[in-house]
A and B are shown apart, each in its own frame.
Chain A
Amino acid sequence: GENVEQHPSTLSVQEGDSAVIKCTYSDSASNYFPWYKQELGKRPQLIIDIRSNVGEKKDQRIAVTLNKTAKHFSLHITETQPEDSAVYFCAATLNNDMRFGAGTRLTVKP
């Protein structure tokens, strides 16, 4: 099956700075790459996703980039705010199998 690795496991930034989380996947046939945000004690929620026929997608302060050749995709958060503090999970889907990364705990310091 698909294998997804996510880095870093923890990330601390100053409010207003940018944050970047990277994921790599193993199977070049994977075609759907969502990112989920999980606040402490809450359920995961989709924040952005990208499909394999697109290289980049933006939604206000967040963006995702996909490099199919290198088999990696990244989440970019600009102008970070304290409410961005959470655990972020990437995932990759191959056929009917979605695999999640281990998560990145982002802390935004005021």
Chain B
Amino acid sequence: DAEITQSPRHKITETGRQVTLACHQTWNHNNMFWYRQDLGHGLRLIHYSYGVQDTNKGEVSDGYSVSRSNTEDLPLTLESAASSQTSVYFCASSERGVTGELFFGEGSRLTVL
């Protein structure tokens, strides 16, 4: 069965370190997204990609970057982690962009000390 997986599921890091969260999907979807989930804010879009070599900034992109070298993967990098980036991060993919169903990964809980 097709799926979308994230790793690591839990990570603790220190302020100033670089962190990369991996996202891998086997749906063969062109559209991939990264969201962060914080209490009282719902899901907020960080970056998204509509295909290989395509990346776009979302609502809360400062301090994050992504790259898309193939269809299956969209890694999220925190260049210099800050305590404000402590959150749960969800990767998602879709066939129809944001006008169709988003398939979410299991989430990655990141704690920045």
A residues with CB within 8 A of B: 1, 4, 6, 31-32, 34, 36, 42-46, 49, 89, 91, 93, 96-103
Contacts and interface: CB of A to CB of B under 8 A. Distances in A.
B90 A43 contact: yes
A34 B101 contact: yes
Contacts of A97: 45, 59, 98
Given A42-B106, A43-B105, A45-B104, 14 more contacts: A1-B59, A34-B102, A43-B106, A44-B104, A46-B101, A89-B42, A91-B43, A93-B98, A93-B99, A96-B97, A97-B98, A100-B42, A101-B42, A102-B42
A93 B45 CA distance: 12
Given A44-B43, A89-B42, A98 B107 contact: no
A34 B104 CA distance: 14
Given A44-B43, A103-B42, A32 B102 contact: no
